Amino acid sequence: MFRNQYDNDATTWSPHGRIFQVEYASEAVKQGSAVVGLKSKDNVVLVAVKRSPNELASYQKKIVRIDDHMGIAMAGLTSDARVLSNYLRSEAMRSKMVYGRALPVGRAVTSIGDKAQTNTQEYGRRPYGVGLLVIGHDDTGPHLYEFNPSGVVSEYYAYSIGARSQSARTNLERNFEKFEDMPLKELIVQGLRALRDTLQQGKLLDTLNTSIGFVGKDAKMTILDGEDTQAYLDLLDEGEAMETE
Amino acid sequence: MDPIEFRLPHTIHRPAASAKHGPVTRTTQPIVTGTSVVAFKYKDGIMMAADCLASYGSLARFRNEKRLMAVGETTLLGVSGDMSDFQHLQHTLEGLLTQEYDMDDGQKLGTKSVYKCISNIMYNRRSKTDPLWNSYVIGGIDNGQKFLGFVDLYGTTYQSTTISTGFGGHLAQPILRRRVEGREDEITEEEAVQILEECMRVLFYRDARSLNKLRRAKVTAQGVEVSEPYALETNWDFAESIVGYGS
């Protein structure tokens, strides 16, 4: 039987220059339901599809508020995301207490990036099994970052992670140049449109499975769930009707 | 034969190790001290002054000390009280600014953040009953807004359009109330300098721990500027009429 000698822990290299445990962790991200993030010159938006394990269960939370100026969306192991969001929340609080200023988004993301990197270099640890899209607004404007288990952190105009997220990225790549001057409402609808492309055949976005988060120059971090998403889902359908006319 | 005993380093109790450092000590009085700082808001920003003297008790020991310093690009710090405690804080701030520089992300530490940070340091030290024996005046322009704040060795903080520390609180503050308050958006740089020099002159006449050599500093939208030391002109003619003073 095939056995890989180089994947027993996250600190061992393969002769081809790969770290298998980190690659496996990245697979965990691809199993989580998709999240999409995108930004304009003033606002930045997250949209996500929530899953429920069965008919009787509630839908798993995908977007979390970190502070008035920052939020995250997760794909992968939710429990790992909770550890990271707790850490981010306490860092954001510390920044407010000590310096009286909102934690700069880039610094927040690099700090969890460093934590993830440590997990790939110290014996006896495992990588986080979660990917995050981090949005925030600070003195340098709106930001969208991707965090992944390898510890690599990148900034984007628009991005998506999670199951079938390539379809959303294809959509974003086609449209991202229009995002810059878009008002918030339209930006959300654009996000939902990209998100819809990740759904399986026969599945639809509805008030139960859709989650919307945004923050911007004039908007504190806000998360919309349930009935609050209806208005945007309606806009999504309206846009569709106009295009076919 | 005795069994070999292994002990982890942190489980070994050595009473001599702590005694070596001697008893716990605290600052109970300032030693080398700087006197008043005078500061206020004017049209273009913040104006501040302090003399160049660091006294050793009543001895005018160090006559060329810098008691005004820039913290980053938009913040001015004025200090009175113990000079060694000030140097300690300088060290801490230097570390903080180096950290910020190393981040290299274009984020600036604003005046309000510096003020909050110094206030926290001061309150933290007083809570350990080991205060930094100073009064600090922090001024600057934060997000286009003029800012002027005070913090002392108890961690007391307040913000105002005019602030003076030490003897200045008695002698300069009434002058500032009369000449500055309510007019802080009208006062030109020339007038501000004139007000500042009036305050510093009065302080030099009456404060026995002061010197007529001083530095002025300002924060404007262009940044922080601390002047070279210069002397104030004084007039001691009145001394002639005082028996046992002039002659």
The structural domains of chain A, ordered by start, are 20-239 (3.60.20.10)
Q: How confident is the model at residue A242 (pLDDT cuts 50, 70, 90)?
A: low
The overall average pLDDT reported for chain A is: 95
Q: Which chain B positions have a beta carbon within 8 Å of A140's beta carbon? A: 105-107
Best of A98, A101, A137, A139 to disrupt the B interface (most B CBs within 10 Å) is: A101
Between the alpha carbon of residue A8 and those of residues A24, A81, A115, the distances in Å are: 11, 23, 21
Q: What is the dihedral sign for C-alpha A176, A178, A180, A183?
A: negative
* A window 70-99, beta carbon within 8 A of B: 97-99
- Sequence-distant (6+) residues with CB within 8 A of B4 are none
Closest listed residue to residue B60, CA positions, set B228, B219, B204: B204
Residue type at A25 in one-letter notation: A
State residue A2's pLDDT score.
Answer: 65
Query: Is the Cβ–Cβ distance between B86 and B79 less than 8 Å?
Result: yes
CB within 8 Å: A106 and B105: yes
Give the span between the Cα atoms of A187 and A180, in whole angstroms: 9
Cα Rg of chain A, angstroms = 18
pLDDT tops 70 at residue A128? yes
Question: Which helix (H) or strand (E) is A27 found in, with range?
Answer: helix A20-31
What are A185-228's pLDDT values in tens digits? 999 999 999 999 999 999 999 999 999 999 999 999 999 999 99
Which residues of chain B, if any, have pLDDT below 50?
A: none
Catalytic pick from B25, B27, B111, B156? B27
Token digits of residue A2: 């095939």
- Sequence-distant (6+) residues with CB within 8 A of B221 are B44, B45, B141, B144
pLDDT tops 90 at residue A65? yes
Average pLDDT over residues A92-98: 97
**Facing B117 at nearest CB: one of A99, A107, A140:** A99
Question: Would you call A104 an interface residue with chain B, using a CB distance cutoff of 8 Å?
Answer: yes
Residue type at B19 in one-letter notation: A
The C-alpha of B117 sits at a distance from chain A's nearest C-alpha, in angstroms, of: 5
Domain annotation for chain B: domains and CATH numbers: 30-218 (3.60.20.10)
* A window 122-141, beta carbon within 8 A of B: 138-140
State residue B10's pLDDT score.
Answer: 72
Q: Which chain B positions have a beta carbon within 8 Å of A98's beta carbon? A: 116-117, 120
State residue A241's pLDDT score.
Answer: 65
State residue A3's pLDDT score.
Answer: 72
The C-alpha of B165 sits at a distance from chain A's nearest C-alpha, in angstroms, of: 24
Residue type at A171 in one-letter notation: N
Best of B116, B121, B142 to disrupt the A interface (most A CBs within 10 Å) is: B116
Which of A9-13, A231-235, B55-59 comes out lowest in average pLDDT? A9-13
CB within 8 Å: B107 and A100: no
State residue B152's pLDDT score.
Answer: 98
- Sequence-distant (6+) residues with CB within 8 A of A191 are A36, A37, A38, A45, A46, A47, A212
State residue B1's pLDDT score.
Answer: 62
Give the span between the Cα atoms of A34 and A31, in whole angstroms: 9
Q: Are strands B162-164 and B157-159 parallel, antiparallel or unpaired?
A: unpaired
Closest listed residue to residue A161, CA positions, set A200, A209, A195: A195
The residue among A133 and B24 whose pLDDT is bigger is A133
The answer to whether ipTM exceeds 0.95 is no
Closest listed residue to residue B134, CA positions, set B67, B65, B199: B67
Query: Is the Cβ–Cβ distance between A137 and A10 less than 8 Å?
Result: no
Helix (H, G, I), strand (E, B) or coil at B223: strand
State residue A118's pLDDT score.
Answer: 96
Beta bridge partners of A153: A147
Check residue A34 and report its DSSP letter. P
CB within 8 Å: A140 and B106: yes
Per-residue 3-state assignment (H helix, E strand, C coil) for A71-91: EEEEEECHHHHHHHHHHHHHH
Q: Which chain A positions have a beta carbon within 8 Å of B92's beta carbon? A: none
Helix (H, G, I), strand (E, B) or coil at B10: helix
State residue A243's pLDDT score.
Answer: 58
B157 belongs to the catalytic site: no
State residue B6's pLDDT score.
Answer: 74
State residue A51's pLDDT score.
Answer: 96
CB within 8 Å: B117 and A104: no
Query: Is the Cβ–Cβ distance between A153 and A145 less than 8 Å?
Result: yes
Average pLDDT over residues A78-107: 97
Give the span between the Cα atoms of A185 and A188, in whole angstroms: 5
Chain B contacts to A (CB-CB under 8 A): 103, 105-110, 112-113, 115-117, 120
Between the alpha carbon of residue A126 and those of residues A19, A24, A73, the distances in Å are: 12, 11, 21
State residue B135's pLDDT score.
Answer: 98
